Structure 1
Amino acid sequence: MKMTKTPIKVRYQETDQMGVVYHANYLVWFEIGRTAFIESLGFNYHDMEQEGIVSPVIDAHMYFKQPIRYGQDAFVKTWIEEYDGLRTTYGYKIEDGEGNAAVTGSTKHVIVKKESFRPVSLRRVFPDWHQAYSDAYKSEE
């Protein structure tokens, strides 16, 4: 499967009193990784939103393995875990600078019309995205 690896700058304001990245920030890092993944395929959310389509999260999971601390290097690996033309599940692995897993997780998304929040098929509305997602999901990288 196609995977991207995106560097994350651990900012002081993202940490708690223990100097550990506050857990909610990992969802933001997932989004950074997801955006980089989509851009690596040649697309971006802005173009989708210009067409009146948005992609809300309908499910999210995070599993904490070890903390990331201020001053450490961090990277988020992102890939497509599941894709069926309507729903996309992205997988994530946040690693420290030595490649140790700190957090793993996934987010599931659908695309919907912005005004009504009615689901639409990526396959029909954005056939180029559908093809790129299908290829990325099946690739052997």
Structure 2
Amino acid sequence: MVISEAKVDVRYAETDQMGVVYHANYLVWMEIGRTSFIKELGFSYAKMEEDGIISPVIDIQASYKKPLRYGQSAVVRTWIEEYDGFRVKYGYEILNEEGELALTGSSVHVCVKKENFRPVSLKRKYPDWHSAYEKAAGKED
């Protein structure tokens, strides 16, 4: 299984009145991790969007374990938990500087045509991407 790691520095604007990272910002960090993961595999969401394909979130889950604060750094670990050619479920862990778990989560995405939101098979439209996902998830055709 391929696991990508992306470093994120906690910015002041990402904190709430309690001085901790506002909960919705973890979702943004999950996107940073996902984008980094895809880039490490040699692909690009931006290129996919140029082709008229988008990949909306259809489900998201986050479990907060330990707060992060302004001035700290975090590591976003991202991998593929499940992939079937249409849907991909990414897994996430966000760790603090000490390597302690701050969040666990997942997001499920599908590929659709931008103009009508009809599902697109990643396997058919992007066979190289499909193969890379199969490999990254630890399964091959």
Instruction: Mark yes or no: TM-score above 0.5.
Output: yes
Shift of 1:129: 0.3
Shift of 1:17: 1.1
Aligned-pair Cα RMSD in Å: 0.7
Provide the aligned length of Structure 1 versus Structure 2.
Answer: 139
Q: Deviations over 1:50-78 (max 9, x none)?
A: 11100000000000101011111111000
Normalising by structure 2, we get a TM-score of: 0.97
Q: Deviations over 1:12-37 (max 9, x none)?
A: 00001111000000000000000000
1:30 aligns to 2:3 (yes or no): no
Q: Deviations over 1:106-135 (max 9, x none)?
A: 000000000000001000000000000000
Report the Cα distance in structure 2 between the residues aligned to 1:73 and 1:52, rounded to whole angstroms.
Answer: 35
1:126 maps to amino acid: Y
5+ residue gaps in structure 2? none
Q: Match of 2:43? A: 43
1:12 maps to amino acid: Y
1:93 maps to amino acid: E
Q: Match of 1:135? A: 135
Q: Which consecutive aligned stretches of 4+ in structure 1 deviate over 4 angstroms post-superposition?
A: none
Normalising by structure 1, we get a TM-score of: 0.97
| Superposition map of 1:85-100 within 5 A | 85-100=85-100
